[in-house]
Amino acid sequence: MPRTSTPETEMATTPMSTQESTLDQAPIGRAVRVASVVGDDAIARRLADLGIRAGITVECLRRAPLGDPSVFELCGYQLCLRRTESARVRVVGIEPLDASAPRAPKA
């Protein structure tokens, strides 16, 4: 049976952008998927220790008034990163969050 789709279903399943950008550019309230972390120094290793690895979904929750630092949610916890740290995280698939998906309560 051929698959039929409407513009609404295509829009709901297609990410807004699959273009690669950095985590510091992620819009507030949008989910992104980590593609990679730039570098092989202590900061890159620390980001990996904190759970920022390829394939992990991260949501930008809020930013300080001047845009630095930002608070992100990943792996069930919230993490605050400086712009210099979040700029090292390459992300793809900026898409709206699914409102029907279960979410952990905000602390």
Give the model confidence (pLDDT) of 65-88 as tens digits. 888 899 999 999 999 999 999 999
Model confidence pLDDT, tens digit, residues 10-28: 333 334 456 888 999 888 9
- β-strand partners of 63: 70
Question: pLDDT, tens digit, for every residue of 28-53?
Answer: 988 999 999 998 999 999 999 999 99
Between the CA of residue 29 and those of 6, 9, 52, 70, what are the distances in Å?
A: 26, 21, 18, 12
**Strands across the sheet containing 70-74:** 21-22, 89-96, 30-37, 57-63, 70-74, 77-81
Domains of the chain listed by start with CATH number: 15-96 (2.30.30.90)
Instruction: Give the per-residue pLDDT at 66.
Output: 87
Token digits of residue 22:
């950095």
Q: What is the pLDDT of residue 94?
A: 57
User: Is the pTM value of this prediction over 0.85?
Assistant: no
